[in-house]
Amino acid sequence: MLFVVNNGASMFNDQLLYIVIFAYILDIILGDPRWLPHPVVFMGNAISFYEPRFRRLFKSDFFAGLIFAIFLIFSAWLFAFSIIKLSSTIHPFLSTIVEVILLFFSLSTRTLAKAALEVDKAFKNGGLDLARLKVSMIVGREVKYLDETGVVKAAVETVAENFVDGFLSPLFFAIIGGIPAAFAYKMINTLDSMVGYRNDKYILFGRASARIDDLANFIPARISVVIISIAAAMISLKRGKRSFINAVREGKEHKSPNSGYPEATFAGAIGVKLGGPNYYHGILVQKPYIGKNFADPNIKAIKMACELMLLSSVIAITISIIAIFAKIIL
């Protein structure tokens, strides 16, 4: 065997190499099969179950939300760690299979592409109303106010942002902290999507969850600029240069400390204007335009975004494999 270094770190890296490869292959082939119970469903149920209980435990909404978030994130990590450890006592190969499955559930490349392409398909088969319905399943904004351009923007922005949230960040944490870290990240992201709102109910209680999510995605969001730009350059050198320049110029203009970077890179790569004001929970939220020097997107932009996202995922996996391999032989 090539890997002759006989220590725990080398063995861990050796295993992780195969875990990452097979988890990604499963994600591309299966997506999120409906016949399998998805851990995110259980995470969502846990969030709903514990929220009122932690609110009753502490007088301060912020402190209650902080302890609530820490408890659930640690619980997700502990669950993954325990099931991996338990399976390893039965057989090391079983432990590897469990880790592949856990990482597979943490990635959502095919599911994201499929959901966005459903919006594209809806435009062709049912028009704007059906497209609004389909995009409402993947975005938090109110869709009844969206025209065709608004629906396309929503789909493209979701693909860009969720390339980080749904793929790059869990992959990043798997590489630096193992599969339990990727699983814990999945809880962080689920917490943010459920309680990380700036409304009366969650402005204090959900603040810790939102800030932890911002912190967790800080590095992956910036790494995404390089990866997406490389993917764009593989399509066209002009697109690659334009995507990187636009990310540097406009990535910081988004209200989110992280979302602007992949969105600005996608906007530059595709050559479209994203962002702008949208309604959330009945309130018009003024958001800056991203890619303001480009034209509004048309329906073709959805498919282009999905293709760019999938190519970016291949590049991210390739870089990850190289990084893991380098750690093995060092």
Per-residue pLDDT of the chain (330 residues; tens, 9 = 90+): 333 344 445 555 678 999 999 999 999 999 887 777 789 999 999 999 999 999 999 999 999 999 999 999 999 999 999 999 999 999 999 999 999 999 999 999 999 999 999 999 999 998 999 999 999 999 988 888 899 999 999 999 999 999 999 999 999 999 999 999 999 999 999 999 999 988 889 999 999 999 999 999 999 999 999 999 999 999 999 999 999 999 999 999 888 899 999 999 999 999 999 998 888 877 788 889 999 999 999 999 999 999 999 999 999 999 999 988 887 666
Going by the DSSP 8-state scheme, the letter that residue 236 receives in this structure is -
Rounded to whole angstroms, the Cα distance separating 60 from 305 reads 43
User: CA–CA separation, 56 vs 234, rounded Å?
Assistant: 54
Cα–Cα distance for residue pair 191/213, rounded to 1 Å: 8
pLDDT score at 201: 92
pLDDT at residue 180, as a whole number: 97
Instruction: Please state the separation of Cα 277 from the chain's center in Å.
Output: 23
Tokens of 240: 């690659």
Task: Please tell me the pTM assigned to this model.
Answer: 0.92
Pairing of strands 289-290, 274-275: antiparallel
In this structure, what are the phi and psi dihedrals at residue 290, rounded to the nearest 5 degrees?
-115, 125
pLDDT at 291: 94
- Dihedral-angle region of residue 2 (phi above 0 means left; psi in -120 to 50 means alpha; beta otherwise): alpha
**Residue 296 per-residue DSSP state:** P
Non-local CB neighbours of 114 within 8 Å, separated by 6+ positions: 31
